[in-house]
Amino acid sequence: MSRKFHDFKAFTLVELLVVIAIIGILISLLLPAVQAAREAARRMQCTNNLKQMGIALHTYHDAVKTFPPGYVTNAVTAPVTPFGDLPPGWGWGAMLLPYMEQTALYDQLTSRRLSAWHTGNAEWVRTNVSTFLCPSDPRSQELTDIEGATEGQLLTYAGEGDAFTNSAFVGQPIRFGRSGYTACNGTEESWWFGGTESLAGNGSDTNIRQYADGAFFRNSQTTIGAIIRGTSNTIMIGECASTLGNKTWVGVHPDATLWCKHPNRVIPDEPPATLVLFHSGPAIYEYETFGNLIVHPPNSPHYMACGTFSHHTGGMNAAYGDGSVQFISSTVNHREFANACTIAGIKNATLREELGGGL
């Protein structure tokens, strides 16, 4: 028997609108859950990145008997630049490459013993290494522009005139591979004590060592034995997304200025060392600038490119000295955070006195 068309009832306009409204509500409820799931996956990838770096740090230590320096410069006793930084400038991230399955890239960078900003290395330093990129950073796939004393004005490659000069890059902007992670310099900004603009008179590596209480600084050679507070209590690497400042795994250019990119920045520019390092505060320069002791934990409202920042809700991931990765809340106790950034407590005697016995 054939069916008649009048056996089927059509939707009325009201019913159709109700169905559409219900679908819209369901989608609106589903989207936040999808976004949360995606961010959870990104945060997990970030954790894995830091885990790989933590393992690489220990593998490096097994081979060299120290952790890698924050960055390397030939200036030790007689610096001739404002912060005492000279070639070759390679940072801790570059030195970890062979221990992160990036031996081929490392060999290209170091085989000719050139500086990080030599045109002979220009092609290779523009490599973005996935382990150094947090997927939650919206600009993680971009290169890091190496800016000078004027914000937005990029430094350019010079023609060295040697056998390794790559003329194709002479006069071109210097861009390095990006990193969403920086190594811990401690509480103080030790980079302010190493050059002709030293806060302590004549700058040198000796001065830097007197103020650096974290595991990484210029020409540092920190050993596990030096981490008196215990490796499981000491932060080695933290996050710094491009929203706060453009960081790199490559190293430090002596003429660079790191400009804070956050619209609510309280200090606009930072020294070259902050391309690869962060500090927690309190620091003497910030103390003199703001008139009070400042500790800036992850995503602190004191927006400075020398600090830490992530796009994970509520805090950041950090690699500790034992190779573990922990999530640090933005509401962490400031004293506890500052403590965790040192290997044996705060070194700056002035700040220690102001704190009433130190951290």
- 246 in Cβ contact with 152 (< 8 Å): no
Cα–Cα distance between 102 and 110 in angstroms, integer?
13
pTM score of the predicted model: 0.88
Mean pLDDT of all residues in the chain? 91
Joined together, the tokens standing for residue 220 give 């540092």
- 247 in Cβ contact with 353 (< 8 Å): no
Cα–Cα distance between 357 and 338 in angstroms, integer?
14
Higher pLDDT pick, 46 / 81: 46
Other beta carbons within 10 Å of 51: 16
Joined together, the tokens standing for residue 344 give 């044996």
Q: How confident is the model at residue 38 (pLDDT cuts 50, 70, 90)?
A: confident
Structure confidence at residue 18 (pLDDT): 79
Close Cβ partners of 255 (under 8 Å, ≥ 6 residues apart): 81, 148, 155, 272
CA atoms within 13 A on the CB side of 113: 1
What mean pLDDT comes out for the span 110-135?
95
Close Cβ partners of 294 (under 8 Å, ≥ 6 residues apart): 281, 282, 283, 286, 287, 302
pLDDT per residue over 207-256, tens digit each? 999 999 999 999 999 999 999 999 999 999 999 999 999 999 999 999 99
DSSP code, position 44: H
For residue 175, pLDDT over 60 is answered with yes
For residue 86, pLDDT over 70 is answered with yes
For residue 7, pLDDT over 80 is answered with no
What mean pLDDT comes out for the span 289-309?
93
For residue 204, pLDDT over 80 is answered with yes
**CA 16 remoteness from chain centre:** 53
